[in-house]
Amino acid sequence: MFLLLSLITCSLLLQGDAQDRASLWRGNDRSGRCHYTFTVPSPTETSCPQVESPDVEGLKARLSLLEVTVSQLGGKGSQPLGGQQGAGSRAHSELQDALNRAVGERNLLQGEKERLERELEGLHLRMEEMRRETERLRSRPCPPQTPVVPPSTPQQDRTPIRSGSSQMSHLMTRPNRQGDSSRLGDSAWQYSAPGFQELKAEVTEVPAPDGNEDNTGCGELVWVGEPVTHRKAENIAGKYGVWMQDPEGVLPYGANMIWRIDTIGTEVRQLFGYDDMEQLSKGFPSKVLLLPDPLESTGATIYRGSLYYQRRLSRSLIRYDLAAEHIAARRELPHAGFHGQFPYSWGGYTDIDLSVDEKGLWAVYSTNKAQGAIVISQLDPNSLEVKRSWETNIRKSSVANTFIICGKLYTVASYAAPDTIINYMYDTETSQGKAISIPFKNKYGYNSMIDYNLAQRKLFSWDNFHIVSYDLRLGRQQAN
């Protein structure tokens, strides 16, 4: 108790004396001994330092500062800092995505550009080839016309149809719109084989169109009517195209269903279905199918509920089931040229031309082995296998188009001339061909598709945006 009192007294004295320059304090300690204490205020310090050394205090201060800093970094400051980092990360990710997309699009465009350049190169090569061929043909002397029906031969006794010799002249000299005057006569006349000579002599033997018709049988074609226009395509995609009717339609589509494909473009995949001819004329499709693989050319056909077509950039034939809407069969047409190797005279990648007649499914094309001559193959409609083939001596690029009726192939001379002819027929029954001359009109000046349609027993055609048909007559079937 005494000690405590002494300390309080001492403290009071110290506070009281702190105002003075110096003070003296006297008191007893625990053992009772008297102590004198002389106190002088510090000239620089207002209070005494604590027991710890200045270094420790400095460290404490620095530690405190560090704690504040750490607190700012990891404590309250952590949330906004993390948000900034997150936003930065997202922005970086979005930029990376945009960059990836841009690179991908650039690669796609680059690929498309290269493809177009290849196509352009192919077209240039083809143009050059056609130019050389035209020059070569022009430089050749015109073939004599008089020997077609030599007056001194027994042929003279035969009854010519519409003046056989004048038809021959017409066949050989009629120019098409492109000025390729020699091409039309080139198909049958360029060959000097014995068969060719016989072929020329048969030019006058086309059956008469009147009084000898049999529209129910499978005689030879003797007459083609005026073009009847059903519809004009709505846009540029329809400059070329193909239209079809199934002669043996399959549900759910009715027997009158008409199908149409506009074939301009690199990704031709749309198949339009119309309930009948009237709806086609009005332009009201009731069905639009998107084909799984793009097609090429105007050579597609429809048979027994399937669309048959050539896959783009390939010799693959596809059978597409219209009801199930999937590919039912796919097979390569062996050795067939494609993508401009052996097209018809107008081009259009018409290398493979499919059609249907009374005898089934046909493919018209050419091969390297045939050296560009027309090859006819009958196909199995289910498997697309070739059942049998015939090789003609008609160069495919010398004719505008072909169609098959009753197993007989007919070639059209020009795709552009307003008045051209069907100038050749090849019969797969006899494996024989002959020149003929049946007038045929290209009303709109650029006929990209001509096929026999068994359902209507007419020719279907696509002439420069226009969907056209032609009536036809067949002669009596010859007994043989």
Q: Are 397 and 374 in contact (CB under 8 A)?
A: no
Q: How far is the CB of 256 from Ca ion (least distance, A)?
A: 22
Q: Which is nearer to Ca ion, 262 or 451 (CB)?
A: 451
Give 475's DSSP letter.
B
Q: Which is nearer to Ca ion, 345 or 401 (CB)?
A: 401
Cβ contacts of 13 within 8 Å, gap of 6 or more: 23, 25
Q: How far is the CB of 233 from Ca ion (least distance, A)?
A: 18
Q: Which is nearer to Ca ion, 172 or 309 (CB)?
A: 309
Cβ contacts of 196 within 8 Å, gap of 6 or more: 188, 189, 393
Q: How far is the CB of 188 from Ca ion (least distance, A)?
A: 18
Interacting positions 334-353 with Ca ion (CB under 5 A): 353
Q: Which is nearer to Ca ion, 180 or 353 (CB)?
A: 353
Q: Which is nearer to Ca ion, 443 or 476 (CB)?
A: 443
Q: How far is the CB of 192 from Ca ion (least distance, A)?
A: 28
- Taking CB under 5 A as the binding criterion, the range among 139-147, 340-348, 371-379, 445-453 that sits at the site for Ca ion is 445-453
Q: Distance (Å, rounded) from C-alpha 233 to C-alpha 262?
A: 8
Q: How far is the CB of 402 from Ca ion (least distance, A)?
A: 5
Q: How far is the CB of 450 from Ca ion (least distance, A)?
A: 5
Burial class (CB in 10 A: 0-12, 13-18, 19+), 350: buried
Q: How far is the CB of 345 from Ca ion (least distance, A)?
A: 13
Q: How far is the CB of 426 from Ca ion (least distance, A)?
A: 14
- Taking CB under 5 A as the binding criterion, the range among 17-25, 123-131, 327-335, 446-454 that sits at the site for Ca ion is 446-454
List the Cα angle 364/365/371 in 5-degree steps.
135
Told to check if 180 binds Ca ion by CB under 5 A, we report no
Cα–Cα nearest to 348, from 278, 283, 299, 392: 299
Q: Which is nearer to Ca ion, 401 or 442 (CB)?
A: 401
Total number of residues binding Ca ion (CB under 5 A)?
3
Q: Which two tokens stand for residue 360?
A: 């089934």
Q: Which is nearer to Ca ion, 393 or 448 (CB)?
A: 448
Of 180, 262, 451, 463, the one binding Ca ion (CB under 5 A) is: 451
Q: How far is the CB of 131 from Ca ion (least distance, A)?
A: 26
Q: How far is the CB of 175 from Ca ion (least distance, A)?
A: 23
Interacting positions 85-114 with Ca ion (CB under 5 A): none
Question: Nearest 5°: phi and psi at 308?
Answer: -110, 130
Is the sign of the CA dihedral 150, 152, 158, 159 positive or negative? Answer: positive
Q: Distance (Å, rounded) from C-alpha 469 to C-alpha 227?
A: 6
Q: Distance (Å, rounded) from C-alpha 424 to C-alpha 266?
A: 32
- Identity (one letter) of the amino acid at 349? Y
Cα–Cα nearest to 354, from 395, 401, 314: 401
Q: Which is nearer to Ca ion, 220 or 451 (CB)?
A: 451
Would you list the DSSP string of 79-93?
A: HHHHHHHHHHHHHHH
Q: Which is nearer to Ca ion, 220 or 353 (CB)?
A: 353
231-234-235-241 Cα dihedral, nearest 10 degrees? -30
Q: Which is nearer to Ca ion, 409 or 474 (CB)?
A: 409
Q: Distance (Å, rounded) from C-alpha 381 to C-alpha 374?
A: 21
Interacting positions 364-423 with Ca ion (CB under 5 A): 401
- Identity (one letter) of the amino acid at 340? G
- Positions touching Ca ion (CB under 5 A) are 353, 401, 451
